[in-house]
Amino acid sequence: MKTPLVLFPGLGADEKLFFEQKRHFKEIVITPSWIAPKEGETLSPYCERYAEDLMKGPLAGISEVFLGGFSFGGMVALELASILSRKKNVKVRGVLLISSGRTNQIIRTAFKMQAAFGSMFPNKLMQLILRKLMLRNFLNSERLNGEQVQCLKQMAHSIDIRFFKW
């Protein structure tokens, strides 16, 4: 078997973000689902639990991988690279960052302020804002084909708002 590429989407997205990659490289691309974070949990303990889940599920029996992620998913991929190689004896052959960074210092201050402000909204209002206002603004600013638009709409409507706000 070829070395798999495990791709993690950003917050508010799911495995559908990588539908094109899965379509073209279906035999090697793995897009696992997120696990729910615990209250007050930080990234490192979350990734420790996630590594356990991955090794029992989509990565069971796999000895080497490439990891990649978009935005928050890239930060998870970096953290998992360390955990998998150190504790799970999985050789991580490389990490691909897509619109991501190595630390939270790379995140723009304006985005941090938006996130802090958004976390104050009740969940129902936040879902409405994401599904209507932000989705419409994003779709109007990007050149997407019909399939990509449908994919984004599906992700917006299936967003786990608790995970997104975490």
pLDDT of residue 112: 62
Distance, CA of 17 to CA of 31 (rounded, Å): 9
- Going residue by residue through the chain, which has 166 residues, state the pLDDT in tens, using 9 for 90 and above: 699 999 999 887 888 889 889 999 988 999 999 999 999 999 999 999 999 999 999 999 999 999 999 989 999 999 999 999 998 889 999 999 998 877 666 666 766 666 666 677 777 777 777 677 667 776 777 777 888 778 777 777 777 777 677 7
Cβ contacts of 128 within 8 Å, gap of 6 or more: none
pLDDT of residue 89: 87
Helices (H), the chain: 19-24, 43-56, 72-87, 109-118, 123-128, 135-141, 146-157, 161-165
End-to-end CA distance of the chain: 36
pLDDT of residue 114: 64
Of 38, 98, 46, 105, nearest to 73 (Cα)? 98
CA distances from 47 to 15, 39, 52, 53, 116 (A): 17, 14, 9, 10, 22
Block residue for tokens 């950003």: 10
pLDDT of residue 127: 73
Cα within 13 Å of Cα(131), Cβ side: 13
Distance, CA of 52 to CA of 55 (rounded, Å): 5
pLDDT of residue 115: 66
